[in-house]
Amino acid sequence: MVVQSRVRVQGDLYHPVVPSGAVYVGRQGFGLRRSPWANPFSLRKHDRAEALRLYRQWLVGQPALVERARRELAGKQLACWCRVEDACHADVLAEVIG
């Protein structure tokens, strides 16, 4: 398995903390930089299932980005704002690169 697990960004919107050893894979905002693997399909415009479907389609259409993820995310936890119990683009990313 390439990616260890997914974790949630800690703290609050004004003081976000990416857990030690994790790589933030979300959008820019709240003091965090946009990740190359951020989901461009917002939950404001799509329901969760559709946003994840579109993300998977977008990601697999970019083989260079997938290869970069395999290199840079190997053995790392993926951090996002999603609740761990909710489906998340980080799960899709882990599956595609794993």
pLDDT tens track for 37-89: 999 999 999 999 999 999 999 999 999 999 999 999 988 999 999 998 999 99
Q: How many CB atoms sit inside 10 A of residue 15's CB?
A: 9
pLDDT of residue 36: 97
- Alpha carbon distance 67, 74 (integer Å): 11
Position 1 pLDDT exceeds 90: no
Across 1-98, the runs of DSSP E, i.e. the strands, are: 5-8, 10-12, 15-17, 22-24, 77-80
β-pairing verdict for 22-24 and 77-80: parallel
Least confident of 30-34, 69-73, 91-95: 30-34
State the pLDDT confidence band at 5, using cuts at 50, 70 and 90. confident
pTM for the complete prediction? Answer: 0.88
Give the CA distances from residue 49 to residues 60, 85, 86, 89, in Å, rounded to whole numbers and listed in that order.
17, 14, 11, 10
Position 4 pLDDT exceeds 70: no
Return the DSSP state at 32. Answer: B
